[in-house]
Homo-oligomer: A and B are copies of this chain.
C-alpha cells in the first residue's frame, strides 16, 4: 500500500454569493491526501512557504498523511483566489500567486521511490519527467491537469497523456483537449491519446469512467446547496486512488467502487468552505454515503 501525491499545498481565497473566505488552506495535494486518508496512508510531495500554518500540518499527520516529501521553503505559500457565481460548475480565477510553487522541482524522498501509485496533480507537464524519473517502477501513474497547462503547454501535455495510466479531467478540460463537444466522444478520444482509464468529472452530474471498451457512470450525491466546489475534483481523485491503493488491484470491480468512493469524497468536500468538512468527517459517514449511492442507483 503506497500512494504518492505530487501536488500543491496552498492558500485559497474563495468568493461566493453566500460568503467569502480569505486565505484558507487548500491545494490539490491537501484535498487529495485528506480524501485518500480514508483508505490508505498517502504520501505528499509538495512545497509550502514559512507562512503555512503548523496546525494544518499537524492535522494532516493526525489523519495519517505522510509529510516527509513536503518541503517548507523560505518565502510565501502558493495563493489562489477565485469566485463562484450561482452556478457552482463555473469559476473565475481572480488571482494566482505561485510564490514558492513557481520553480517547484520536487525531490522525492528515498522512502517514497518504490511506491505503487504516483499521482501528478496540477503539475507543469514539463516537470513530469523529472518527477517520474525518481520512482523505480510504479504500478500506476495517474495525472490531472489544469486549464493553464492546456492553454500554454498543449504539446507537452499531449505527450504526457501517452505515458500515464489514469487521467482525470473535468468536462471543460476534456472538451478543450480533444475538441469534441460531446462528452462521450471526448472521453473516448482521451482514451485513444493513451491512458487506459479516463475519469471524466461532471460536477453535479457525477462522473464517467472510460476504459478501452467500456463506459461506467457514477452519479453525484444529491446536494441542494453547494457551499464551496473548490477541491471537489482533487477529493474525487483522492477517494479514487486511495481506494485503489487499498484494494491493491485493478479489476473492473475495484475501479468501479473506487469511482463511487471518489464521488462520495467529492460530495463531502463541497459541503463546507475549504477542507472544513474533512476536519469532522468520520469514516462511518463515508461508508454510509457509499451505501446511499448504491441505493440511489440500484434497480
Contacts and interface: CB of A to CB of B under 8 A. Distances in A.
A126 interface: no
Interface in A157-182: 181-182
A257 interface: yes
Contact of A216 (B87, B218, B296): B296
Given A202-B205, A205-B205, A217-B219, A185 B224 contact: yes
Interface in A199-218: 202, 204-206, 208, 215-218
Interface of A, secondary structure class, is: mixed
A18 interface: no
Say how many copies of this protein the assembly contains.
Answer: 2
A250 interface: no
B182 A224 contact: yes
Interface residues of A, number: 33
Given A188-B224, A202-B205, A222-B208, A296 B217 contact: yes
A175 to B, nearest CB: 11
Across the A-B interface, the 3 shortest Cβ-Cβ residue pairs: A256-B299, A205-B205, A217-B219
19 contacts: A86-B181, A182-B204, A182-B226, A184-B222, A185-B225, A188-B224, A205-B205, A205-B206, A206-B217, A215-B296, A216-B297, A216-B299, A217-B219, A218-B299, A253-B299, A256-B299, A259-B299, A294-B299, A297-B297
